[in-house]
Structure 1
Amino acid sequence: MKKDSWIKHKEDQATDEQFWDKLMKFGKRIGEKTVYYSLLLYYTAKSPSVPKSSKMIIVGALSYLIFPVDVIPDFIPVVGLADDSAVIAAAVYKVFSHIDDSIKNQAKEKLTTIFGETSDS
């Protein structure tokens, strides 16, 4: 594997791991809707048909979710994760036209594995 592709692979892997760690750690506190929206963004970013400009919006929103430094720290009860939820919702609104049924199904399936069959998203 070339050096550049190896670095890119490692960056993608770290980002994926951080995303899944955050969802599993804070999923119940963030709530089903925000987790579902985060999953929509995640799977939309993986789609080859989505334009780079939309992927940049998604990467920005998911990065804000992943990284601990944000406007309102996550450890503050109730409001700590509200800013993360707002950023995720705004990004979904911006890229909604690229979210197809396949992406929705992937997100719903993963949401069920996180929250169980009681999910109504």
Structure 2
Amino acid sequence: MASDSFSSDESRVKREFWPTLRRVARSIPFAEDAVAAYYCALDRETPTHVRAALLGALVYFIVPFDAVPDFLPLLGFADDASVLAAAIAAVRIHMNDKHREAARRALAEEDLA
């Protein structure tokens, strides 16, 4: 059961992360961390428990219906940022230079930096 949920979360993040990020990247201060978390979560070398924590936080980021609606100016992504920041703080040791460099490159290529 848990494996099915993990796979479902991973598929959803792969499908919905970039469209969500493109829509909001310029209005959120944590875009690089979000993209680095994305790459860390999808990295098969990242431990499963770390991937699960990051995938959960990323799903919360992409789901439009959460504690504070994302369309509210300045407040909409505050809860998303908090959840993502907590997940990143918990697993920071596993987010390496490879993930951060991939994030910087992706943001530059998408012209979201």
TM-score, normalising length: structure 1: 0.79
| Residues 91-102 of structure 1 mapped to structure 2, 5 A cutoff | 91-102=87-98
Pick aligned residue for 2:24 from 23, 26, 30: 26
Q: For structure 2, which runs of at least 5 residues remain unmatched after alignment?
A: 1-6
Identity of aligned residues (%): 31
How large is the RMSD of aligned CA atoms in angstroms? 1.8
> What residue in structure 2 maps to residue 43 of structure 1?
39
* Paired positions, count: 106
TM-score, normalising length: structure 2: 0.84
SS in 2 for 1:49: coil
Deviation at 1:98, TM superposition (A): 0.7
SS in 2 for 1:80: coil
For the pair shown, which has the larger CA radius of gyration, 1 or 2? Answer: 1
Q: For structure 1, which runs of at least 5 residues remain unmatched after alignment?
A: 1-7
Q: Deviations over 1:43-86 (max 9, x none)?
A: 00121221111111001100000101110001111111111111
Query: Deviation above 3 Å: which 4+ runs of structure 1?
Result: none
Deviation at 1:15, TM superposition (A): 2.9
> What residue in structure 1 maps to residue 104 of structure 2?
108
